[in-house]
Structure 1
Amino acid sequence: MACASWLHLHSSSLTRVILPILHHPTALLHRFNIFTSPARFTSSVNQTNPLLTPVHAQAKRGFSSKDHKISSAEDLQFEPPLKIVEYPDPILRKRNKRIDTFDENLKKLVDEMFDVMYKTDGIGLSAPQVGINVQLMVFNPVGERGEGQEIVLVNPRVAKYSKKMVLFNEGCLSFPRIYADVQRQTAEVPQTLSERPESVKIDAQDISGARFTIDLSELPARVFQHEFDHLQGILFFDRMTDEVLDGIRKQLEELEKKYENKTGLPSPEKVETRKRKKAGVGFGK
């Protein structure tokens, strides 16, 4: 798969989105965490008004706040600079706690996450990917510092997702230089589909703790779904069919060997014994 996506986007300035509003800015994207097929998008990021960006289907029951423990001050401690955690580090599979303290430390963590995201050519990043197991993600669909909208979602939940599905190809900063189709299977449709919902409605909190609801579609929705999977301990190869997985099996095994050489410990998981994980909570299974 090619490791660039030709999305013609433009933007004149950067906006750190506390309550995301208005329309998704556009610019040329390259070398990022989510890879897509060539296409032109006019995505919307709308606050509290589902009429502006219709989401067509009621989601199955999303996860409850009771499903996640509350983080402590220690859980949010970090030493900059942050580094990307790579597969098969067990941090990527740990349960991620809800954030209940909205202070300067959280704002510093968000700033550091954006910093490492841009330095590694990403457009989205979740807290467990930098070794912090809390319910936090950041993204900027433009992927360039100083351009676009920087979106911060704390304790996000999926409220709705669309019936319409879109095809795409994904990569992940925790799986360097590995790109493949994310697959979905249902009992009703036995064949595999390389797709995710086109749009999602999300309930979340901002870095000050204020609750809000936003609708995301097209590329921002894809980035959110990828990072939301990370917050559930789900990695993108969990969604792949065995046939697709076979195409990257050697690369995954190399990452497992790299982990063993670096830590002196056996790999906590092996692709050769992998069993398909359940889909992310709140999405079709």
Structure 2
Amino acid sequence: MASAKFLRSSHLHIHGGFTSALPAIPPFSHNRLTSLDQVYFSTNWSLPPLCAVSKIGFSATKDEAASSGDIEFEAPLKIVQYPDPKLRAKNKRIVSFDDNLKSLAREMFDVMYKEQKMLLEHQSQPQKSTTSIRTDGIGLSAPQVGINVQLMVFNPVGEPGEGEEIVLVNPRVSKYSKKLSIFNEGCLSFPGIYADVKRPESVKIDARDVNGNRFSFSLDGLPARVFQHEFDHLQGILFFERMTEEVLGNIREQLQALEMKYEQLTGEPSPEKIQNRRERRNAVGFGKS
């Protein structure tokens, strides 16, 4: 194993195998969130070539800023399921880095871990999957709990006290790799649905931490996959929009079942219908969907 050393967050790279090679960081509390500049990594890892792109996301000053009321919440938070319109709403830029934001991040982790535990106890991954690793329950975006702000949390291990708990505020993508890979994704907002999605293997990200500090870092492998899935949520993009028409056809009935469930629970018509979605060529990479 290559030697590891301590670096500033501006030089941070996190790789797909980091959870087994890195020292564990203690889980954070309401008063202290783990900062990405505390993460160690192997200096011998390398990333695939990255494509430069315009910075994408909701971090520009022209985007609407979130008020303190936009981040207020009552515990326990609940997962918002497709086709709830909150999954499509504009997510506001966070400008207040206070204890309420830290509490929200902590509560999101708690919900994520709870959902992951329930999934492991009551469901099994489809055998046709291209991988045996679940992606639902290891990442969560704020709109998935009904709060439309630019916040995401994830831990590729999916277990409290293990792996790295990562909090990203107002993230943007500055580069992504030309090399693409297919991975069988799931999503807490689409319970029981798994399908193959093609995405870039690595990304370079600009973001803020829960204290408002700016930093840049790179991800590849599973962490990059989880980030891209959650980043899409912050832009109102759902993972089935990244699927080919053939793959989408395999889950169409499951999506329609969620639409019917929404109508039965709310007494209102579904805000969107998968049957009305026009067939098109799906593209991968940021800004192409």
TM-score by length of 2: 0.77
Distance 2:244 2:181 in 1: 17
Residue aligned with 1:181, SS: strand
Tell me the equivalent position of 1:59: 52
Tell me the equivalent position of 2:36: 19
| RMSD across aligned positions (CA) | 2.5
Tell me the equivalent position of 1:171: 186
- Describe the superposition over 1:58-80 as per-residue Cα deviations: whole angstroms up to 9, x where unpaired: 33212361452110111101110
Query: Do residues 94 (structure 1) and 89 (structure 2) align?
Result: yes
Query: Do residues 137 (structure 1) and 140 (structure 2) align?
Result: no
Cα offset for 1:134?
0.4
Query: Do residues 204 (structure 1) and 204 (structure 2) align?
Result: no
Determine which of 114, 118, 124 is the counterpart of 2:109: 114
Q: More helix by proportion, 1 or 2?
A: 2
The number of residues matched between the two structures is: 242
Q: CA, structure 1 residues 278+18, in 2 after alignment: closer, same or farther (shift >3 Å)?
A: farther
Sequence identity (%): 62
What letter corresponds to residue 117 of structure 1 in structure 2? M
Residues 91, 128 of structure 1: 8 Å contact kept: yes
Distance 2:178 2:35 in 1: 28
Distance 1:97 1:281 in 2: 23
Cα offset for 1:14?
3.8
What letter corresponds to residue 152 of structure 2 in structure 1? M
What letter corresponds to residue 61 of structure 1 in structure 2? S
Tell me the equivalent position of 1:228: 231
Residue aligned with 1:204, SS: strand
Residue aligned with 1:269, SS: coil
Distance 1:200 1:241 in 2: 22
Q: What is the correspondence of 1:240-279 to structure 2 with a 5 Å cutoff?
A: 240-275=243-278
Distance 1:9 1:61 in 2: 30
Cα offset for 1:13?
3.6
Determine which of 120, 123, 126 is the counterpart of 2:141: 126
- Describe the superposition over 1:124-176 as per-residue Cα deviations: whole angstroms up to 9, x where unpaired: 00000000000000000111111010000000000111122122111100000
What letter corresponds to residue 82 of structure 1 in structure 2? L
Residues 62, 281 of structure 1: 8 Å contact kept: no
What letter corresponds to residue 162 of structure 2 in structure 1? E
Q: CA, structure 1 residues 222+107, in 2 after alignment: closer, same or farther (shift >3 Å)?
A: same
What letter corresponds to residue 110 of structure 2 in structure 1? D
TM-score by length of 1: 0.78
- Describe the superposition over 1:182-203 as per-residue Cα deviations: whole angstroms up to 9, x where unpaired: 2xxxxxxxxxxxx211111100
Distance 1:116 1:254 in 2: 24
User: Which runs of 5 or more structure 1 residues have no equivalent in the other structure?
Assistant: 1-6, 24-43, 183-194
User: Which runs of 5 or more structure 2 residues have no equivalent in the other structure?
Assistant: 1-16, 29-33, 117-136
Q: CA, structure 1 residues 270+91, in 2 after alignment: closer, same or farther (shift >3 Å)?
A: same
What letter corresponds to residue 263 of structure 1 in structure 2? T
Determine which of 75, 80, 83 is the counterpart of 1:80: 75
Cα offset for 1:241?
2.0
Residue aligned with 2:66, SS: coil
Residues 161, 283 of structure 1: 8 Å contact kept: no
Q: CA, structure 1 residues 277+149, in 2 after alignment: closer, same or farther (shift >3 Å)?
A: farther
- Describe the superposition over 1:182-236 as per-residue Cα deviations: whole angstroms up to 9, x where unpaired: 2xxxxxxxxxxxx211111100000000000111110100000000000000000
Residues 113, 125 of structure 1: 8 Å contact kept: yes
Residue aligned with 2:192, SS: strand
Distance 1:279 1:229 in 2: 14
